[in-house]
Amino acid sequence: MSNIPTAPGNVGFPQAYGQQQQPYQHVQQFTQAQPQPFANAPNPFPFPSATTSNGPVKVAPPQVPNGGTGYANQFPARAPPVAAPSAFPAPTSFAQQPPSFSPAPPPAMNGQQMPPGAPRPFNASPAPFPSAPTPAPAQPPIPSALAAARPAPFPAPTSSYQPQPAPRPPVPTGYPQQQPPPPQQQPPVYGQPQQYGQPPQQMQQMSQQFGQMNMAGAPGAPPQQPSGFRNDIVDLIAQRDVQQLGFEDIEIQIPQQVANPQAVVDPNIFRSTLAQVPQSEELLKKSRLPFAITLHPFRDVKNLNIIQTSNIVRCRYCRTYINPYVYLPDHRHWKCNLCNRNNDLPDDFCWDPQTKAFGDPRNRPEIQNSTVEFIASSDYMLRPPQPAVYVFILDISAHAIQSGYLHTFSEQLIINLDQMPGDDRSQVCFIAVDQCLHFFSFTNAKRYPSEMIVDDIDDAFLPSVTSLLVPLKNFKDIIRSFIKQLPEFYSQIGPTSGGNCLGSALKLAKTLIQEIGGRVSIFQASLPNLGLGALKSREESSEGGQNLGPATDFYKALSLECTGQQICLDLFMFNTQYADLATLSEVAKFSTGCVYHFPNYNYRNDIHQVKRFEKVFTRYLTRKLGFEAVLRIRTSRGLALTGFYGNFFVRSPDLLALANVNPDCALAAQVTIEEKLPAYVCFQSALLYTSSKGDRRIRVHTMCIPTTGDLLQLYNNFDLKATVSYLAKIGVERSMTGSALADSREALVNAVLDSVGSYQKAVSRGSGMLVPRSGHLRLFPSYVLAMLKHPAFSSSRGIRLDDRTGAMLMLRFSPLDQILADIYPRLYRLNELATMPEDQSPSPLPLSFEHISRDGVYMMITGTMAFVYISASADPNFLVNVFGTAIYNDIDEYSLLERDNETSRRVFSFFKQVTQFRFYLGPIITIKEHSPLRDTFVRRLIDDRTDSTHSYVEFLQHLKREISGN
Amino acid sequence: MTFTFAAFCYLLALIAVGFCIFFAIYTVICVDELRTDYKNPIEQCRNLNQLILPEYILHGTFTLLFIFSWQLISILANLPLAVYHVYTYMNRPVMSGPGIYDPTTILNRSTLSSTLRISWIKLAFYLISFFYYLYAMIYTLVTSN
């Protein structure tokens, strides 16, 4: 990994350009559409050599208002280099409030920004908005300073490079993009008035903001009151409708001095619990907010920019990849945003494929996008890229045959066999497990495989070396018919189906593919009780322990060995009886595996589970896959990642080893502040992996977050979505490594107590549950309550150990949206869909039965299930349209079909819309008010009290008592 | 001047603590390597875990010898560490081999720094006790007759 880009000499460009012809790819191919074979890959590069995966070069996306020279007007406030934080206005100036902006700022907005796509109709009066926070193009033009700060068009004389360019905008203080806090929260020291911006620009900025904001414009929210002093603070106990104020993502304000302030990383990929980072550790401690990041490194991305270049530009010192948040003083240099050191920019980086000339490096996709993917050269390979290898280990013991999962397995595998990622080199192997090991030897593409049974499971060996793992391409037909007959073949309980020797099978599977690496999918329905790693049932432990940790380290040791050999182990669990998921899941935990739990799976009785398995398994087989991956997360100086939570192996303090990487696993990492921070900080994750097509790629995500010295800003920029994901993962980790479940529960309650309590202290108001109206803190108590009621953390004794473990494991590796939906399901009233305008959709309701009316039809989306709940006196018109009958009694679970009418279509398109990225959601379950399933639905209404748990209001009272008690 | 049992204990403890010092230095180096270099934590933990039981046994042995020879100061100094050793070993992560270090958790910043701190403290403790045992052995030899 040492391709340090050597800077080309300061020679004439045409010559220099000519000299740089690289053996297999040149950056010139940004524009030229001739496919170039990738040197080390066995396949030709699958993309037509352009920079983007979908079609033509996407170097200057149209949404960027100006490429080329016009940017000068766009980024006038580009500031001096980042390395000189002292040259910047002091942090205090962030809080300066331009008086010309806000005669009467609506405090409800609190300077918050919401994403542009937010569904809130903006209808407030054009009251002036307090801040000028958007990275909007409308900035005060500062022509003279700009001319000096901007280099001349390429080729620029190197003398124009000024590491510390003195000319700065005549604005004396403050970057206009920083958010001034609402006036009442403003410490007096920040209050110097400041003049900038002329009225027309104000208007422009405002309209920008209005386009982006949505804060208090939520349907249920009171209109903005310009003069209310306390309106930005709500008392949770007094105001019950905090849910209605919206739960939109906080927009991160990226400082203007970076190379491309328009680039924002998808918050679903990369996210911090604090959208403004405290400048010092003391401030963070004072706020008592958790500080962590969540990362979904391999999430499916539309319009991913794939860059094939001879020369991946990286920082010479810290190996950071060039990204939109570097500082570009001129066309020849760049300053790394992580280590603040200067680097040379290679000449070919300025090649603009659109104009076919050397131009502005800002037009490069690396600068334009915060998420890019590089095709890596052979420098990034330790060995030739591996082929896709799939091993299936199937449980065929008595329990497994009873559950009948093999039927769905075989059906879906046949359908998806061609869609599995991989090229012509893909290989497969099947191993069946009961009391013995069953191998299937494919010797001839025409002959049905012979079954080889190994019964010496303690000292098992591979019965054949060559015929077990076979190329999928050559044997496709026979594999297909083999899979087809598999459920038939093992439909009877045979003489050997009494036990399960999974451990031995895993050991042999590892031996079989350890030279290559790959993916082992384990299908289990019973407790492995024989051979290596045999387990005993310990559901009812005599010591009263919780048994969430492993019983033996066999599976963990195996998993670590597999990670070293680039083998990933995924676990599908179909058990009816206890199967010690806590121990078995160790195979997945450290090898980047996933665990999917289908409790009480039965192919005859439980159609929902079967459908869910179908869906999950299809997604599992067809999703993208990256092999032999490593993930490195770099941070700005002064920050450190101190703990990682998720399924992977921590190889060194900032490097995670991932045997396989799939688009459905995510991680969280705790962050600590070690030094005083500059005006903004960055995180960069670089995932180096082998794609299923056999080339080596690097996917780079970079996140930039401003810092703040203002305590109250921290609370406004508290991001609950990332926090919930982080708290869930850390709670699971602790519970599974020995801490008592009660400790995790207490830690969750303490997290909300600390943050709300210290906010109370910060605003020094009376008692109550005071939280900022904007931002996410007001929803923290309800999410913590929901977590306490989630099966993973619930104190209820009714939850079976395996179900609890399964819920925990799901939280452990799942991405943010999955976790959020599972913890706090979304409840929608569908009736409105019939009358609403086309572009609107129902907003989520609080999860309380008081919002379930007798005439409504509701949809609830959890992490794994979707329900439609029909009240007894629901509107017959709606029922006819959606369920095909007006009579409530006639509706059964098969009634919900997409029908040929407007309402039905809208219901289904709405369902698709809200479940867009939920690949692990079961089918829609129809529940009537009187059906026995009603309980499943009502149980998820978590704001209500049950026999053993608090209601939301009780929980708030409890928190209030605790806070005032301290 | 006779070679008493106490003097014999100190002599043995001197040798044993010499080994312990070596173990402690090795642990400090290994943990520091983990933090700064790209050493494989699996191998590093395997190396470290091999030394855990020998160290505990050595330390336990000479603590016992001190009890038998009733060297009060040495007993008081060593008992807390012996108790700590027993406690750590009882609460170690689930693993089949000997040892207390788990490669999957050792790279957590808090685990790493506490491991490092503990091994520094132990190193200091063993060094001090080394010189004390030397002194005490000579003292016992000189004063006994």
The segments of chain B whose pLDDT lies below 50 read none
Predicted local distance difference test score (pLDDT) of residue A354: 66
Mutate to test the interface with B, among A553, A590, A654 (most CBs of B within 10 A): A553
User: Quick check: B96 and A649 CB within 8 A?
Assistant: no
Mutate to test the interface with A, among B91, B107, B111, B116 (most CBs of A within 10 A): B107
User: Quick check: B94 and A590 CB within 8 A?
Assistant: no
Predicted local distance difference test score (pLDDT) of residue A359: 76
Report residue B59: phi and psi, to 5°. Answer: -65, -45
Higher per-residue pLDDT: A915 or A94? A915
Minimum distance, in Å, between the CA of residue B42 and any CA atom of chain A? 8
Strand, coil or helix: what is A956? helix
Per-residue pLDDT tens over the stretch A926-937: 888 888 888 888
ipTM, 2 dp? 0.90
From chain A, pick out residues whose CB is under 8 angstroms from the CB of B107: 650-653
Contacts of A752 (CB under 8 A, 6+ apart): A780, A781, A784, A959
A137 touches chain B (CB under 8 A): no
User: Quick check: A649 and B93 CB within 8 A?
Assistant: no
A767 vs A236: CA distance, rounded Å: 11
Instruction: Check pLDDT > 60 for residue A947.
Output: yes
User: Half-sphere exposure (CA, 13 Å, Cβ side) for A27?
Assistant: 26
B40 vs B45: CA distance, rounded Å: 9
Per-residue pLDDT tens over the stretch A695-707: 899 999 999 999 9
From chain B, pick out residues whose CB is under 8 angstroms from the CB of A672: 109
A279: which 2 tokens?
Answer: 């400048």
Predicted local distance difference test score (pLDDT) of residue A53: 37
A336 vs A826: CA distance, rounded Å: 42
A552 touches chain B (CB under 8 A): yes
Higher per-residue pLDDT: A687 or A494? A687
Which of A356, A479, A340, A503 has the alpha carbon at shortest distance from A417?
Answer: A479
Contact A603, A550 (CB under 8 A): no
Of B94, B95, B107, the CB nearest to A652: B107
Instruction: Check pLDDT > 60 for residue A65.
Output: no
Between β-strands A567-573 and A518-524, what pairing exists: parallel, antiparallel or unpaired? Answer: parallel
Mutate to test the interface with A, among B33, B42, B43 (most CBs of A within 10 A): B42
Per-residue pLDDT tens over the stretch A411-437: 999 999 998 998 888 999 999 998 989
| Mean pLDDT, rounded, for A242-258 | 79
User: Quick check: B95 and A550 CB within 8 A?
Assistant: no
A644 vs A638: CA distance, rounded Å: 18
For A741-769, b where at least 16 C-beta lie within 10 A, e where not — what string?
beebbebbbebbbbbbbbbbebbeeeebb
pLDDT band with cut points at 50, 70 and 90 for residue A51: very low
From chain A, pick out residues whose CB is under 8 angstroms from the CB of B103: 560, 649
| Mean pLDDT, rounded, for A255-280 | 90
Predicted local distance difference test score (pLDDT) of residue A351: 74
A305 vs A544: CA distance, rounded Å: 54
pLDDT band with cut points at 50, 70 and 90 for residue A47: very low
User: Quick check: A642 and B108 CB within 8 A?
Assistant: yes
Interface of B with A (CB under 8 A): 34-35, 37-42, 91, 93-96, 103-105, 107-110, 112
Residue of B nearest to A640 (CA): B109
Residue A686 pairs in a beta bridge with: A632, A700
Predicted local distance difference test score (pLDDT) of residue A244: 63
Contact A652, B41 (CB under 8 A): yes
Per-residue pLDDT tens over the stretch A870-908: 888 888 888 888 888 888 888 877 778 788 888 888 888
- The burial of A270, by beta-carbon neighbours within 10 Å (0-12 exposed, 13-18 middle, 19 or more buried), is given as buried
pLDDT band with cut points at 50, 70 and 90 for residue A235: confident
Beta-strand runs (E) in A608-756? 626-635, 639-645, 649-652, 655-661, 667-673, 680-691, 696-708
Instruction: Check pLDDT > 60 for residue A543.
Output: no
Higher per-residue pLDDT: A840 or A626? A626
Contacts of A339 (CB under 8 A, 6+ apart): A315, A317, A318, A320, A637
A652 touches chain B (CB under 8 A): yes
| Mean pLDDT, rounded, for A558-572 | 93
Predicted local distance difference test score (pLDDT) of residue A673: 93
Contacts of A785 (CB under 8 A, 6+ apart): A942, A943, A950, A952, A955
**Helices and strands (H, E) in chain A, number of each type:** 24, 30
Contact A177, A80 (CB under 8 A): no
Of B37, B94, B110, the CB nearest to A550: B94
Predicted local distance difference test score (pLDDT) of residue B4: 84
Per-residue pLDDT tens over the stretch B32-72: 998 887 788 999 999 999 999 999 999 999 999 999 989 89
Name the average pLDDT for chain A: 75
From chain B, pick out residues whose CB is under 8 angstroms from the CB of A736: none
| Mean pLDDT, rounded, for A509-521 | 92
Maximum average pLDDT range among A83-87, A455-459, A746-750, A855-859: A746-750
Which of A920, A862, A807 has the alpha carbon at shortest distance from A581?
Answer: A807
A110: which 2 tokens?
Answer: 């609190």
The H or E element containing residue A146 is helix A143-149
| Whole-Å CA distances, A267 to A275, A479, A701 | 10, 42, 11
Instruction: Check pLDDT > 80 for residue A840.
Output: no
Of A556, A642, A649, the CB nearest to B109: A642
A777 vs A752: CA distance, rounded Å: 9
From chain A, pick out residues whose CB is under 8 angstroms from the CB of B108: 642-644, 650
Beta-strand runs (E) in A506-646? 518-524, 567-573, 595-597, 626-635, 639-645
The one-letter amino acid at A946: T
From chain B, pick out residues whose CB is under 8 angstroms from the CB of A564: 42
Instruction: Check pLDDT > 80 for residue A210.
Output: no
The H or E element containing residue B112 is helix B109-143
B73: which 2 tokens?
Answer: 């100061």
Whether the bond between A155 and the residue before it is cis, its omega within 30 degrees of 0, is: yes
A654 touches chain B (CB under 8 A): no
pLDDT band with cut points at 50, 70 and 90 for residue A605: confident
Which of A850, A856, A863 has the alpha carbon at shortest distance from A806?
Answer: A863
The H or E element containing residue A749 is helix A741-763
Predicted local distance difference test score (pLDDT) of residue A511: 92
Of A72-81, A307-316, A525-534, A847-856, least confident by mean pLDDT is A72-81
Predicted local distance difference test score (pLDDT) of residue A572: 94
From chain A, pick out residues whose CB is under 8 angstroms from the CB of B49: none
Contacts of A556 (CB under 8 A, 6+ apart): A550, A586, A587, A589, A590, B94, B104
| Mean pLDDT, rounded, for A137-146 | 37
Instruction: Check pLDDT > 60 for residue A94.
Output: no
The one-letter amino acid at A866: A
Residue of B nearest to A655 (CA): B38
User: Quick check: B35 and A653 CB within 8 A?
Assistant: yes
Residue A440 pairs in a beta bridge with: A451
Contacts of B72 (CB under 8 A, 6+ apart): none
Per-residue pLDDT tens over the stretch A579-589: 889 999 999 99
A399 vs A526: CA distance, rounded Å: 6
User: Quick check: A560 and B96 CB within 8 A?
Assistant: no
Provide DSSP, A845-896: BPSSGGG--TT-EEEEE-SS-EEEEE-TT--HHHHHHHHS-S-GGG--TT--
pTM, rounded to two decimals: 0.78
Contacts of A91 (CB under 8 A, 6+ apart): A279, A679, A707, A708, A709
pLDDT band with cut points at 50, 70 and 90 for residue A912: confident
Which of A369, A374, A375 has the alpha carbon at shortest distance from A704?
Answer: A369
Percent above pLDDT 70 for chain A: 74
Higher per-residue pLDDT: A634 or A856? A634
Predicted local distance difference test score (pLDDT) of residue A9: 34
Of A553, A556, A642, the CB nearest to B110: A642
Q: Nearest 10 degrees: CA dihedral of A644, A810, A434, A566?
A: -30
Of A549, A640, A643, the CB nearest to B94: A549
Predicted local distance difference test score (pLDDT) of residue A230: 52
Report residue A193: phi and psi, to 5°. Answer: -75, 160
Predicted local distance difference test score (pLDDT) of residue A11: 31
